[in-house]
């Protein structure tokens, strides 16, 4: 009998591998984000489209530059950078000057990600790092809101969008006056509630006919995207649920005690960036804990802190800082909530 000519291939067990890879996960997050982006463009017009393109391209470029400088193999193909770009744009006001958006994107990738050593090593969500930077650097521009569904939104850009680099964007109140069809104030629901005790009706919040950041529009589309990812196990459903639960835990008692001063829990959930933050940002795998208990604690912490900042802090929106803080303490949470080893009584 002739000898078999088999070249053997040595590998270590397990010899089977589930075919879910990092790029696949990230790509699916992008898919889930696209409807949010599309609706935002629909609501706010061309300015948001440019904003999305600007941040995404700047992020890609910065990442590419970083890989070149650090002499690392290109990490563009893992798609995570696209998520950062899109998310960043969605947290900015629709008429945010493009040059500032580019700065935000550069900081997001450079400071929020590359500095730590790239994907997997970053401590915080890069998009939020970028956003926090411009919040501090450009306090006026970052709080200049435009109403959605302006009639001319597909023909004309919001005047601030094309501000020349290093220039102060023009005042747009006059422009909004001229554009608007109804008595729209241009203030966000959160500001209205905080300073004028005006509660925006829930359907407007759910469907997104409100002023706010580009991605704060439709809670419905965000939730659908989240459900898609959760069904594919590419999003830890416990995190958004915990964030929302945390928000309700603080908001509900206050509202029960003094409904005139404090917003109702549904308003809290559906206004501002809470939904976007809960579904797409707090759940960022890299910056959230891995332990089962840690995930709940982390989510609750973010939800509670968001509402506390909103109601008692000087800012109208607190979700960004809440998530950044949650990211910062997530290694600590992971450490303190090590799973109970099978068969042991204590952890």
Kindly state the number of chain residues that form the binding site for another protein, as judged by CB under 8 A.
Answer: 47
Considering only residues 208, 236, 269, 300, which one is a binding residue for another protein as defined by CB under 8 A? 236
Closest distance between another protein and the C-beta of residue 329, in Å?
14
Q: Identify the H or E element spanning 251.
A: helix 238-257
16 binds another protein (CB under 8 A): yes
327 binds another protein (CB under 8 A): no
> CB-hemisphere CA count at 13 Å for 88?
41
Phi-psi bin for 204: left (phi > 0), alpha (psi -120 to 50), beta?
alpha
20 binds another protein (CB under 8 A): yes
What is the spatial distance between Cα 99 and Cα 314, in angstroms, rounded to a whole number?
27
- Between 166 and 342, name the residue whose CB sits nearer to another protein: 342
Give backbone dihedrals phi and psi of 14, rounded to 5 degrees, phi first: -75, 145
46 binds another protein (CB under 8 A): no
114-151 burial string, b = 16+ CB within 10 Å, else e?
beeebbeebbbbbbbbbbbbbbeebeebbebbbbbebe
279 binds another protein (CB under 8 A): no
292 binds another protein (CB under 8 A): yes
24 binds another protein (CB under 8 A): yes
Spell out the residues 6+ positions from residue 19 whose beta carbon is closer than 8 angstroms to its own: none
Q: Pick the stretch among 50-58, 182-190, 202-210, 288-296 that binds another protein (CB under 8 A).
A: 288-296
Considering only residues 136, 155, 260, 342, which one is a binding residue for another protein as defined by CB under 8 A? 342
Burial class of residue 182 in the structure, from the number of CB atoms within 10 Å of its CB (0-12 exposed, 13-18 middle, 19+ buried): exposed
Closest distance between another protein and the C-beta of residue 113, in Å?
12
17 binds another protein (CB under 8 A): yes
339 binds another protein (CB under 8 A): yes
**CB contact at 8 A, 101 and 51:** yes
63 binds another protein (CB under 8 A): no
13 binds another protein (CB under 8 A): yes
Span 295-324, contacts to another protein by CB under 8 A: 295
* Positions that interact with another protein (CB under 8 A): 1, 3-22, 24-25, 78, 117-121, 236, 285-292, 295, 334, 338-344
């Amino acid at each position: 009998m002739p000898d078999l000519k088999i070249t053997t291939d040595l590998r270590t067990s397990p010899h089977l591998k589930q075919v879910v890879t990092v790029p696949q996960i990230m790509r699916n997050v992008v898919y889930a984000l696209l409807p949010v982006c599309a609706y935002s463009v629909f609501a706010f017009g061309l300015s948001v489209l440019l904003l999305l393109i600007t941040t995404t391209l700047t992020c890609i470029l910065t990442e590419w530059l970083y890989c070149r400088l650090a002499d690392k193999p290109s990490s563009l193909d893992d798609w995570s950078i696209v998520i950062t770009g899109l998310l960043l744009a969605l947290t900015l006001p629709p008429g945010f000057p493009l040059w500032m958006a580019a700065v935000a994107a550069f900081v997001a990738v450079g400071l929020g990600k590359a500095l730590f050593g790239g994907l997997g090593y970053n401590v915080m969500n890069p998009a939020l790092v970028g956003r926090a930077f411009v919040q501090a650097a450009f306090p006026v521009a970052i709080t200049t809101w435009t109403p959605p569904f302006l009639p001319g939104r597909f023909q004309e850009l919001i005047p601030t969008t094309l501000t020349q680099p290093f220039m102060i964007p023009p005042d747009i109140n006059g422009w909004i006056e001229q554009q608007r069809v109804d008595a729209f104030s241009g203030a966000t629901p959160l500001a209205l509630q905080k300073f004028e005790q005006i509660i925006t009706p829930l359907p407007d919040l759910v469907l997104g006919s409100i002023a706010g950041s580009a991605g704060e529009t439709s809670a419905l589309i965000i939730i659908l995207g989240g459900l898609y990812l959760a069904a594919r196990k590419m999003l830890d459903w416990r995190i958004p649920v915990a964030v929302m639960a945390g928000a309700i835990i603080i908001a509900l008692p206050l509202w029960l005690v003094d409904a005139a001063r404090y917003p109702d829990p549904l308003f809290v959930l559906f206004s501002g960036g809470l939904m976007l933050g809960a579904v797409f940002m707090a759940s960022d795998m890299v910056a959230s804990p891995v332990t089962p208990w840690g995930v709940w604690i982390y989510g609750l912490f973010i939800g509670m802190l968001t509402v506390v900042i909103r109601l008692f802090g000087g800012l109208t929106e607190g979700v960004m800082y809440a998530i950044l803080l949650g990211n910062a303490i997530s290694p600590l949470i992971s450490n303190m909530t090590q799973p109970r080893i099978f068969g042991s009584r204590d952890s």
